[in-house]
Amino acid sequence: MPYTLVKEFRELFAPAISMRVRELAKELDDIYGVDPSVAVCVLRGAFMFFGDVVRSLQNKKLEVDFVRLSSYTDSSTNSGWKTLLTAGARKLR
């Protein structure tokens, strides 16, 4: 994509996306409050969005963790099932 289109895209959509991320974080804060919580990010595609949301949360007792999943059992066939490639550092219920 040419640079000018990327720049125009950012100028057009970035404010709306940022506002929605803050709204989502507020909704999560309203639901979970200040209870100790763990936010789990599914790598790799979600990490930028995840970081934006986590930075907007008010919960000071929030911990973060990451998992990697794959829907491929070999190099070319989508199995339709997600395979856990890397588990997070903590056990979750």
pLDDT in tens for each of the 93 residues of the chain? 566 877 888 888 889 999 999 999 999 999 998 889 889 898 888 889 999 999 999 999 999 988 887 766 655 665 565 665 566 666 655
Rounded CA-CA distance 46/38 in Å is 16
Rounded CA-CA distance 80/13 in Å is 32
Domains of the chain, start order? 3-86 (3.40.50.2020)
Q: How far is CA 87 from the centre of its chain?
A: 16
Q: Is the distance from CB of 84 to CB of 67 less than 8 angstroms?
A: yes
CA atoms within 13 A on the CB side of 61: 7
Q: Is the distance from CB of 29 to CB of 58 less than 8 angstroms?
A: yes
